[in-house]
Amino acid sequence: MANKVLPRNKISREFKWNAESVFESEEAWGREVEAIIGDLAKIKQYQGRLGEGSTVLVNALNAVDELVSRAQKAFMYAGFSYNVDTTNQQAAGLFGRAQGMYGQVSSAVAFVNPEILAIGKDRLEQWMRESSNLAVYRHFFDDLFRQQAHVRSAEVEEILGLVSEPLNGASNSTSMLTNADFKFKPVKDETGRIIDITQGNYDTQLMHHPSRKVRKAAYNTYMDQYLAHKNTLAANLATSIKANVFYMRARRHESTLAASLFNLNIPTAVFHNLIDTFRKNLPVWHRYFELRRKALGVKKLAYYDMWAPISTRKIKVPFERAVELICESLAPMGKEYVDTIRRGALKDRWVDRSPNQGKGHGAFSWGAQGTHPFIMMSYTDEVTSMSTLAHELGHSMHSYLTWKNQPFVYAGYSLFVAEVASNFHQAMMRGHLLNSNKIDKHFKLALIEEAVGGNFFRYFFQMPTLARFELETHQRAERGEPLTADTLIALMTELFAEGFGPDFDMDHERVGMTWATFPHLFSDYYVYAYATGISGAHAAAGRILRKEPGAVEDYLGFLKSGSSDYSLNVLKRAGIDLTSPKTVEETFAVMEGYIDRLEELMN
């Protein structure tokens, strides 16, 4: 009997995201895109006039906010539609059209920042005293003047806006190649049953298969498809890195790392503190790898063993039960918080949860102010899927509360803080369930396996390793050195060899190709924020689980802040300090506690 993944049109409506709550039809979406492009002229009428007075400036900013908000909503609709089925050519066409539209909007509003800078801080201060509507933009103005040295003329800014679409082409072509065009050969299990391999079930099911033979076959088949296209994938990543170098030089920064972190007002020391602390604590990882090796009874661990189940009992967690366990774990956050999650997951169809052919790799939460925060994932009734759902609901609640409490200008939040909210849910879930009498030791063992072998392995091992890879590749590009498939594979192998230690079965070519399986690398210096995020999350959850006075209110205040202040500042108000290695060190201590408990449960 074949284990087939259904095409998108065979998936029940109740398991799909609530697209019609955003636009009633693709035709309605198309009309809105045309209207947005038609309204660009309304923005252009303000060009060259922002210095006329506070009223003109407020009106212009409100018009820009409204237009960009509409553009974000239309872009998200097309992007989500494409990601849930990358084989759908109509959805791919919508996404391409949305990207073109968004590029036009970015170009049309590019005059705003240079003109505000030309007004000057003193005159803006006077205008803000006269107009409360303008005073809303105070932090936006402060941040703009902070970045003044790196804001170019209106003409250059317009060009930078126009090139954003073509410079994103490498990411798009990689997504089309790996999600739509890649066809993986199926594998057979011990009974001869054929199992399809897709981007949706590779991580969530096949790498968790109890049979080492099946895992190895799936891993080899999956990675060999990437290796067969290594030169194209390397060229795409190199193009993206070179685009980052271009932006760095166009905006006159000293390095791509400095340029990326400057945008969020984050010192480069935060990045280097993480990397240094990670390398210092590699022995903690080596202890876990040895424990896993013994538990699996193998001579040497291989990459495909990292998610293999240690527990012999398979724990099933249907979607509805997962939602209830997550809500139960988050009870300290208050009834309104929990009710919002339950309604979103079970009634309002926030979650596109069924695996289907062509569904994009991984999981994410995405939306825009005025929509639900939607989640794309492939739920498989396992503890790993429950944890992923908790994680993405953390992102969704961050968006939900930010959109509810902030004006559009502050309705986003940085990637740096995003992973705090998502990992917070997982930390709260483990903190509650590992001390609950409602679940047995087998469930607890599965929870800790997922915590260390899943969440921590990804966020506290893979991501810091990829951050080191990203830093080195960018530095090579800055020096004008070539980035080829072979050099990228060699670098990745070298970094993982240090991370895994000497007692590891290193498949150089396949392990070295791991970088190609992470689309995150197309987001400039993003991966390190996963590790700082999980650190911040455990700091916040620890305060609440210890019932520190004001901890819940502090954390909710963080979720409601959006981008109304700098990332480090909103975190500090929640009791999270990521300017020091201490928070990362404390999270390694949490991980060691999980390893201790894992060892006890195994014995």
Three-class secondary structure of residue 3 per DSSP: strand
| pLDDT tens per residue, range 255-280 | 999 999 998 899 999 999 999 999 99
Q: Residues for the chain: how many in total? A: 603
pLDDT recorded at residue 513 = 98
Task: Say which residues have a Cβ less than 8 Å from residue 45's Cβ, sequence separation at least 6.
Answer: none
pLDDT recorded at residue 3 = 57
User: Strand 374-376 relative to strand 351-352: parallel, antiparallel, unpaired?
Assistant: parallel
Three-class secondary structure of residue 374 per DSSP: strand
Which amino acid is located at 415 in the chain?
L
Task: Say which residues have a Cβ less than 8 Å from residue 279's Cβ, sequence separation at least 6.
Answer: 498
Question: In which element (H, E) is residue 590 found?
Answer: helix 582-602
**Which one of 165, 392, 450, 478 is the catalytic residue?**
392
Angle at 566 between CA 118 and CA 68, to 5 degrees: 60
Q: Which long-range contacts (CB under 8 A, 24 or more apart) does 447-450 make?
A: 447/383, 448/594, 448/597, 448/598, 448/601, 449/309, 449/310, 449/311, 449/383, 449/598, 450/383, 450/384, 450/387
Q: What is the largest CA-CA distance in the chain?
A: 77
Question: In which element (H, E) is residue 366 found?
Answer: strand 364-366
Confirm whether 392 is a catalytic residue.
yes
Identify the bridge partners of residue 301 per DSSP, sorted by sequence position.
504
Name which of 277, 356, 307, 290 is nearest 7 in CA terms: 356
Instruction: Provide the residue ranges of all domains of the chain, joining segments of one domain with +.
Output: 8-167, 274-348+386-603
Residue 564: Cβ-neighbour burial (10 angstroms; 0-12, 13-18, 19+): buried
pLDDT recorded at residue 1 = 32
CB atoms within 10 A of CB 340: 21
Query: What is the DSSP track for 14-29?
Result: GGS--GGGT-SSHHHH
**CATH 1.20.120.530 assigned to 274-348+386-603:** no
Domains 8-167 and 274-348+386-603 share a fold: no
DSSP label of 193: -
8-167: CATH, from 1.20.140.70, 3.40.630.30, 3.90.400.10, 3.30.160.270: 1.20.140.70
| pLDDT tens per residue, range 375-415 | 999 998 989 899 999 999 999 999 999 999 999 999 999 98
Task: Say which residues have a Cβ less than 8 Å from residue 544's Cβ, sequence separation at least 6.
Answer: 332, 333, 428, 551, 552, 555
CB atoms within 10 A of CB 553: 11
Q: Which residues of the chain have pLDDT under 70?
A: 1-3
